[in-house]
Amino acid sequence: MLVAARGGGWRPGARWARAAPPSSLVVRPNGGAALVTALKDGNRIVLAAASAQARALGLAPGMPLAQARILVPGLIVRDADLEGDAAWLTRLACFAARRWTPRAAPSGPDGLWLDLTGVAHLFGGEERMCARILAFCRRLGFDARIAIAGSPGAAHALARHGEAPLTLCPEHGERDALASFPLSALRLDIHILDAARRLGVETIGALAAMPRGPLQRRFGSALLTRLDQAFGRVGEPFDPIIPEEPPAILLRFLEPIATPEAIEEALGEGMRRLVPLLEEAGLGVRRLDLACERVDGETQRATIGTARATRDGAHLLRLMAARIERLEPGFGLESLRLVAARVEPLDAQPIDGGLAGRKASDLADLIDCLAVRLGRRRVFRFSAIESDLPERSVARADPLLPAAGWPGWPRPVCLLSPPEPVSFVMAEHPDGAPVRFTWRGRAYKVAAGDGPERVHGEWWRRADERAAIRDYFQLESEDGQRFWLFRRGDPDLPGSGDLTWHMHGIFA
């Protein structure tokens, strides 16, 4: 966007309009297929946005979807995600506010205001800055258009109705630049546009040439205000977005510190300052970053994660203290910065009643401790997956979430992965339980057997499992050991397997 007085007038600012919504990030039609998004408007479905290919074929936002389908056979249609688009736009605005200019805000559903007052020279001038912004958007997958003008209204019109993706409006040249644009470029209500068209006013230039008095009487002040905003005669302030900074603490030391005790003491002080910040904001930490500046300019980093949002300073300090030994202080640390890099809302926490003499222990604390020692993925709960194949029936799950159980079929204590081949199998019937077999070089004589439990292949996962069958037998050897063997396939069903035997588990 723009604002800024140079010599008393409005100064160039910029705005860009995004032509394709962010869903184009996900769906990238190759070969130039036309893509549109559609949304429900009343009782009809209209296009919300159209890709460049679709627009080249004559489709435009607002057109009924049925008509678009007739015009373009093979049109790719996706549901419009207005909330997702708005979230993306806000993210972009936050990025712009951090990177390009302190004053940025979303403009409508498809644009951003950027106030370039006093920042363009930092990026090598207006034109180079805009080229960089356009290149950045292209890398993200956005088709962007950008216009710089001395007033927001002019930039808005130029970005949407100009010819080139990048339009620089010369100083005080808004009037000439906009003269040939249609009235719809002025952000006017539809009934004002209709009335103006009935009067024969088609372009902004024609409107600007008319006397103001009759216009004011005929259309009210809205039309003239928009016109003045476009020409920079009336200011148009906007509310810039303020990116949220994560709660952070910076400690600078008078003397460099190097001993673990001193670092832990400093960390404790940092936590004591960080926790009130979190309390005030109603946040809990999920990830805490520590960055230590060394005397020689190197930065030492450490990160801890927590299983659940917390602002328990003692707990966080314990987790972070386990990381101290991995820091290399060298000749000493000059400063220490704690950043709550990932936070979640956390309401006021009840204080543990001390009447029982002992604090109720929270499993999340222990899981954090173990995760710091082992790594987050190494602390888990085994949970059930709906699969009959034993090796697929178990998955690792978050230890703090409820886990699903298995049906009560007999299952071994130890599962061999992969199943080991069993040789010299003798069975009384081709499809019966074995009476003797050899596994890992040892011969076993079977005293009792139970089975089969038939497991079919999962054809929906892999095509070659379509006909596969496993027949599981629970066998007890003469010395009381119990094994879980399976035979691939059924002798009566050709193609169900090669009839080999495998050891898959050991019962207790």
Among 141, 189, 382, 438, which residue sits at the site for another protein (rule: CB under 8 A)?
382
In the bound state with another protein, the residue whose beta carbon lies nearer, of 31 and 407, is 407
Among 214, 276, 282, 410, which residue sits at the site for another protein (rule: CB under 8 A)?
410
The CB-of-393 to another protein minimum distance in angstroms stands at 6
For residue 419, what are the CA distances in angstroms to 153, 384, 439, 499?
72, 20, 11, 14
Q: CA triplet 38, 43, 46: central angle to 5 degrees?
A: 25
Binding status of residue 483 toward another protein by CB under 8 A? yes
In the bound state with another protein, the residue whose beta carbon lies nearer, of 141 and 410, is 410
In the bound state with another protein, the residue whose beta carbon lies nearer, of 29 and 412, is 412
Q: How far apart are CA 435 and CA 440, in angstroms?
A: 17
Among positions 415-474, residues that touch another protein (CB under 8 A) are: 415, 417, 447-450, 474
Range in contact with another protein (rule: CB under 8 A) among 48-56, 230-238, 269-277, 353-361: 353-361
In the bound state with another protein, the residue whose beta carbon lies nearer, of 82 and 413, is 413
Range in contact with another protein (rule: CB under 8 A) among 156-164, 181-189, 203-211, 475-483: 475-483
Could you tell me the sign of the dihedral formed by the alpha carbons of 14, 91, 96, 52, in that order?
negative
Q: What is the 3-state secondary structure (H, E, C) of 230-272?
A: HHCCCCCCCCCCCCCCCCEEEEEEEEEECCHHHHHHHHHHHHH
The CB-of-454 to another protein minimum distance in angstroms stands at 17
In the bound state with another protein, the residue whose beta carbon lies nearer, of 198 and 358, is 358
In the bound state with another protein, the residue whose beta carbon lies nearer, of 224 and 370, is 370
Binding status of residue 408 toward another protein by CB under 8 A? yes
Q: How far apart are CA 20 and CA 419, in angstroms?
A: 53
**Residue in 476, 459, 477, 480 with CA at minimum distance from that of residue 468:** 459
The CB-of-355 to another protein minimum distance in angstroms stands at 17
In the bound state with another protein, the residue whose beta carbon lies nearer, of 479 and 498, is 479
Range in contact with another protein (rule: CB under 8 A) among 122-130, 204-212, 381-389, 488-496: 381-389
Q: Which two tokens stand for residue 231?
A: 């020409």
Binding status of residue 135 toward another protein by CB under 8 A? no
The CB-of-317 to another protein minimum distance in angstroms stands at 16
In the bound state with another protein, the residue whose beta carbon lies nearer, of 56 and 363, is 363
- Tokens 């409005």 locate to 10
Q: How far apart are CA 453 and CA 411, in angstroms?
A: 11
In the bound state with another protein, the residue whose beta carbon lies nearer, of 308 and 337, is 308
In the bound state with another protein, the residue whose beta carbon lies nearer, of 71 and 384, is 384
Binding status of residue 390 toward another protein by CB under 8 A? yes
Q: Which two tokens stand for residue 261?
A: 């005790």
The CB-of-461 to another protein minimum distance in angstroms stands at 20
The CB-of-506 to another protein minimum distance in angstroms stands at 5
SS3 label, residue 466: coil
The CB-of-145 to another protein minimum distance in angstroms stands at 53
What are the φ/ψ torsions at residue 291 (nearest 5 degrees)? -125, 120
The amino acid that residue 178 corresponds to is L
The CB-of-325 to another protein minimum distance in angstroms stands at 14
Q: How far apart are CA 111 and CA 103, in angstroms?
A: 14
In the bound state with another protein, the residue whose beta carbon lies nearer, of 337 and 381, is 381
What are the φ/ψ torsions at residue 314 (nearest 5 degrees)? -65, -40
SS3 label, residue 288: strand
How many residues make up the chain in this entry?
Answer: 508
Binding status of residue 31 toward another protein by CB under 8 A? no
The amino acid that residue 197 corresponds to is R
Range in contact with another protein (rule: CB under 8 A) among 183-191, 275-283, 459-467, 480-488: 480-488
- Tokens 């990025």 locate to 95
The CB-of-453 to another protein minimum distance in angstroms stands at 12
In the bound state with another protein, the residue whose beta carbon lies nearer, of 249 and 370, is 370
Q: How far apart are CA 311 and CA 276, in angstroms?
A: 9
Beta carbons within 8 Å of 288's beta carbon, 6+ residues apart: 303, 304, 305, 306, 316, 319, 320, 338, 339, 340, 341
Binding status of residue 479 toward another protein by CB under 8 A? yes
The CB-of-413 to another protein minimum distance in angstroms stands at 4
In the bound state with another protein, the residue whose beta carbon lies nearer, of 333 and 446, is 446
Q: How far apart are CA 419 and CA 497, in angstroms?
A: 15
SS3 label, residue 404: coil
Contact 46, 63 (CB under 8 A): yes
**Residue in 4, 230, 239 with CA at minimum distance from that of residue 121:** 4
The CB-of-441 to another protein minimum distance in angstroms stands at 13
Contact 225, 152 (CB under 8 A): no
The CB-of-319 to another protein minimum distance in angstroms stands at 12
Strands of 299-310's sheet in order across: 248-257, 333-345, 283-294, 299-310
With CB under 8 A as the rule, give the number of residues binding another protein. Answer: 55
Among 412, 435, 456, 467, which residue sits at the site for another protein (rule: CB under 8 A)?
412
SS3 label, residue 257: strand
Binding status of residue 506 toward another protein by CB under 8 A? yes
Site residues for another protein per CB under 8 A: 358, 360-363, 365-367, 369-370, 373-374, 378-384, 390, 393-394, 399, 402-406, 408-415, 417, 447-450, 474-483, 505-508
